[in-house]
Amino acid sequence: MPCGVYSNVLGHFKMTKELKDIVSNSYRIFKRYKATIPLDACTACCLTKNQESELVTLSVHDIPFKLLYDYNTAAKTEKPSIEEFKHFLPRLLELTSELKFLHHSAELVLSQFQYYDKSEWTYEENELIKNFGQVFFSKCLTIYPIPELESIDSILIMLWETQIDIKSLLTEWTSIQTKESVLHFNDLVIRGFRSDRQNELVSSFGDQNLSNVLIGWIGKETTKHSFAEKIEKIILEPPADIEQMTLDELSWTYEKVRI
């Protein structure tokens, strides 16, 4: 459990109205896309024929988590059908919004975006994905720890795959004043990067370009000043639910960003 803070958030997490509206809008925008048999997914060992049939016949909104999980983790061709992906996307966004991760690693939940260029999406579709990323990330910054012990760098890697502007998310993060936001920053600084190559994210799914963006953001004077102030406030007036180990880590991060 990161930083010694414990809470059972999975059972209590609810989508915000803003996230609900985005998900609802996604069902409207993507409803014209269809999936047909054969699906662009392995049915030799990843999906059964019965599962394939269910995926095609069920209303997208009614697809169970486990069924979509099996589809999302199934082997795909070199460039899977974008129409098929868009057909299932609203349900994928809905479950992700509920912090129900449709992959064994949260970083890979939205990895299918990597197969497509932004030009293959309409303006309305691109705007929806951008809005989803911004609102979802902001919500994640209010929850600590994230369910299934996922870290904030995993969420950033997940959203990086959608090709949205990560720098805008980081700018917003700098301005957020919550304790949870500070604890996520602390985790990123202490555990987000490799000890032997500190310019690389510790996650094997991390892109070097994303690593560079995050390192650049952490090193900005505005970022360091903002988080130094927030960390100092927590250290001087520790909340009751923060353990000493966390305070020690925050002190280390404080010294790092004060350099």
Is pTM beyond 0.85 here? Answer: yes
Q: How many CB atoms lie within 10 A of CB 77?
A: 10
Q: What six digits make up the tokens of 187?
A: 């985790």
pLDDT given for residue 6 in this prediction = 33
Its sign, for the CA torsion 165, 171, 176, 180, is positive
Distance CA 250, CA 259 (A): 14
- Could you tell me the residue ranges of all domains in the chain? 2-258
pLDDT along the chain (259 residues), means of 10: 39 78 98 95 92 97 97 91 97 96 95 94 98 96 90 97 96 95 97 91 95 97 97 96 95 92
Spatial CB neighbours of 2, under 8 Å, sequence gap ≥ 6:
144, 145, 149, 151, 183, 187, 191
Q: What is the pLDDT of residues 229-244, one digit of tens each?
A: 999 999 999 999 999 9
Which helix (H) or strand (E) segment is 3 a member of?
none
3-class state of residue 7 by DSSP: coil
